[in-house]
Amino acid sequence: HGVCVLGTVDGKNTRVIVSALDKVQVFTDVDGDDKADKKETLFSGIGGAQHDHGIHQFMFGPDGRLYFNFGNNGRQLKDKNGKPVIDLAGNVVTANRKPYQEGMVFRCKLDGSEVETLGWNFRNNWMVTVDSFGTIWQSDNDDDGNRGVRINYVMEYGNYGYKDEFTGAGWRTKRTNIEKTIPLRHWHLNDPGVVPNLLQTGAGSPTGICVYEGDLLPKIFHGQIIHCDAGPSIVRAYPVKPSGAGYTATTVNILDGAKRDKWFRPSDVKVAPDGSLIVADWYDPGVGGHRMGDLDRGRLFRITPKGHKGYKQPKLDFITAKGLIAALKNPNNSVRHIAFTELAKKASGSNGRALLDLANQDTNPRFRARANWVFSGSGKHLVGVALAMQDKNENIRSMALRIARQHQLEVIPLIKELTDDKSAVVRRECLIALRHSKSAEAPALWAKLASKHDGKDRWYLEALGLAADKQENKFFDAWLESTSKLNTPAARDIIWRCRGTHTAKYLADIILDKATPEAEKPRYLRALDFIPKGKERDEAFARIALGL
């Protein structure tokens, strides 16, 4: 289901992570002869052993951690000894709606420890990719034939809506405030607590994905998602633009096999060290259903600009500080992995000075971001945080909070400094960092961040909801104390999304308000389904029934 190679300077102790059957195994070439000398199990007990909705490929992230996912047949994650994995949130990683279900996205250390469940309730999220800022992207397939294939920005710890969050019901089951069209209905997008989709691409069979961080291809592709969809036989880019706390995206075709060969079935795309693209094609007359019409042929394609004179392997130097910095800038993730590893071993002396120059002076924010991650990966977490906090780029300022969270640093002082940041992306990361905080200052900080919701930004609204998880009443009450205007679009949004028992009364107020348009009332009725059962919810329903 996937292969991830973690190379070394001399080839010795190169590791190959293989996702296959019900396991993830690591093969190590101890002596550098390109033959495996050790085989170890990283994870086991994964469902979908012979199913394309099972475990998928691993990726080495810019932070030095592994990112991976499984589809809705993966069901569970166990360690090498067969014991259920408990993630850093304290939850057993299994699809039992406590809270997780269906497909999931994960992050962990290289040894498989410190597993985090970063997103859940996908159908078949085939592969995950991470850009240099640590932002996570993937695609997800719909129930075939419903034109609901989607591309996701994975806001960490979010629910992505394939099944009903509490009942596990599918999208066909009737519900209050159901979406009008099937592609939207498919993902429960009208429910509070569902993170919105970046883009819906219609019918397809989405497969491999990467982020292009080279400069050989035309500028429109720089820093953008490149994605394979085997169904329509196409490789596309999805140029992304910021939109509030989230993003919008468009579609640009790169390689359209349907025009020349409908057996073209792109399964993965990656960036070569020279910045060209390599596309894997399994070559088959059909897609899906575990059918294979061609057992013999497959192809690899290289994509370069018109007029390009051919592939040239860049000369790589993993010894000197200058060479390591050049390698860290390389568009190929395998090259960057070696550079990261070598620099993180010794982020001082000439290496440290070179990293500081990169972090402070380079005009490319992705290069600056990589330098900050190296500092944090070397144990110099505070250096990485400090550099990120002062950067002019919103994505790098967001990294300060990501670094702090990963290394269990105190986040409250950072949040206090960034709550007035002009960027909704930065404030979104403040909210994610606030999630499950036990600080006495957390409710007031949440209230301040809530006051900046504009009543239009669903991404920001969902970040508010994620931040309030398990502390809804406490955070909601702090917000009530800080505002006197409850009849604005922003305030009504917050009431709709916040699931504390204290919000039931305010939902009833909105529904009973004669100024509330009839077409909007189902939205607030549906929100009551997400309030815990009890006296306050019962009283709200009684008031609505009696018109009081």
Distance, first Cα to last Cα, the chain: 58
Do 44 and 164 have their domain in common? yes
Q: What is the pLDDT, as a whole number, of residue 52?
A: 85
Q: What is the pLDDT of residue 392?
A: 97
Does some domain include residue 16? yes
* 182-216 pLDDT, tens digit each: 999 999 999 999 999 999 999 999 999 999 999 99
As given in the structure block, the two tokens for residue 114 are 């410190």
Q: Identify the pLDDT of residue 121.
A: 99
Q: Which of 355, 372, 400 is the last residue of a domain?
A: 400
Torsion sign, CA atoms 175, 179, 185, 189? negative
Any domain includes 536: no
**Arithmetic mean of pLDDT over the chain:** 96
Q: Tell whether 537 is covered by a domain.
A: no
Of the candidates 134, 128, 135, the one whose C-alpha atom is nearest the C-alpha of residue 104 is 128
| For residues 84-88, average pLDDT | 98
170 and 25 in one domain? yes
> 400, 428, 453 — which closes off a domain?
400
- Which residues are registered as beta bridge partners of 116? 107
Q: What is the mean pLDDT of residues 373-402?
A: 95
CA 22/CA 26 separation, integer angstroms: 14
In a domain, 539, yes or no: no
- How many Å apart are CA 542 and CA 531, to the nearest integer? 15
Residue ending a domain, among 379, 400, 421, is 400
Confidence at residue 311, expressed as pLDDT on a 0 to 100 scale: 87
Share of the chain above pLDDT 90, in %: 93
| 156-172 tens-digit pLDDT | 999 999 999 999 999 99
Residue with tokens 């930004």: 457
Sequence-separated (6 or more) residues with CB below 8 Å from residue 379: none
Task: Give the pairing of strands 234-238 and 224-229.
Answer: antiparallel
Which phi and psi (to 5°) does residue 113 adopt?
-85, 170
Q: Residue 53 sits in which domain range?
A: 2-203
DSSP state for residue 111 in the 8-state scheme: T
Average confidence (pLDDT) over 510-514: 97
Same domain, 199 and 63: yes
Domain assignment present for 446: no
Whether 245 maps to a domain, the answer reads: no
Write down the pLDDT at residue 51. 85
CA atoms within 13 A on the CB side of 420: 2
Q: What pLDDT does 306 receive?
A: 92
pLDDT at residue 258 greater than cutoff 90: no
Nearest in space to 397 (alpha carbons), one of 358, 375, 435, 429: 429
Q: Which residues of 395-423 are buried (b: 16+ CB within 10 A; e: fewer)?
A: bbbbbbbbbbbbeebebbebbeebbebeb
Number of domains the chain is built from: 2
For residues 251-270, average pLDDT? 94
The predicted structure's pLDDT at residue 310:
84
HEC letters along 386-441: HHHHCCCCHHHHHHHHHHHHHCCCCCHHHHHHHCCCCCHHHHHHHHHHHCCCCCCC
Place of tokens 């910045």: 275
| The pLDDT of residue 288 | 73
Identify the band that residue 22 occupies on the pLDDT scale cut at 50, 70 and 90.
very high
Model confidence at 274, in pLDDT bands (50, 70, 90)?
A: very high
Tokens of 33: 């002869």
Cβ atoms within 10 A of the Cβ of 439, count? Answer: 13
Whether the pLDDT of residue 292 is over 90: the answer is: no
Secondary structure class of 105 (helix, strand, coil)? strand
What pLDDT does 366 receive? 99
Mean pLDDT for 108-132 is: 98
Half-sphere exposure of 347 (CA within 13 A, CB side): 23
As a whole number of Å, the CA-based R_g of the chain is 24
Average pLDDT estimate for 139-155: 94
Instruction: Give CA separation, 506 vs 174, 444, 470, 537, in Å.
Output: 25, 20, 19, 11
The answer to whether residue 40 is domain-embedded is yes
* Mean pLDDT for the stretch of residues 226-248: 97
**What is the structure's pLDDT at 548?**
87
* pLDDT of the residue at 312: 86
pLDDT at 290 over 80: no
Read off the pLDDT of residues 449-476 as tens digits, 9 standing for 90 and up: 999 999 999 999 999 999 999 999 999 9
pLDDT value for 273: 98
Q: Is the pLDDT of residue 291 over 90?
A: no
Residue 299: predicted pLDDT? 95
The whole-number pLDDT of residue 390 equals 95
**Per-residue DSSP letter, 78:** B
DSSP conformation letters of 275-342: S-EEEEE---S--STT--S-SS--EEEEE--TT-----PPP--SSSHHHHHHHHT-S-HHHHHHHHHH
* Structural domain includes residue 74: yes
DSSP character for 149? E
**Does residue 151 register a pLDDT over 80?**
yes
pLDDT per residue over 353-362, tens digit each? 999 999 999 9
Task: Evaluate the CA torsion angle 394, 395, 400, 401 in order and state its sign.
Answer: positive
Q: In the prediction, which pLDDT does 294 show? A: 86
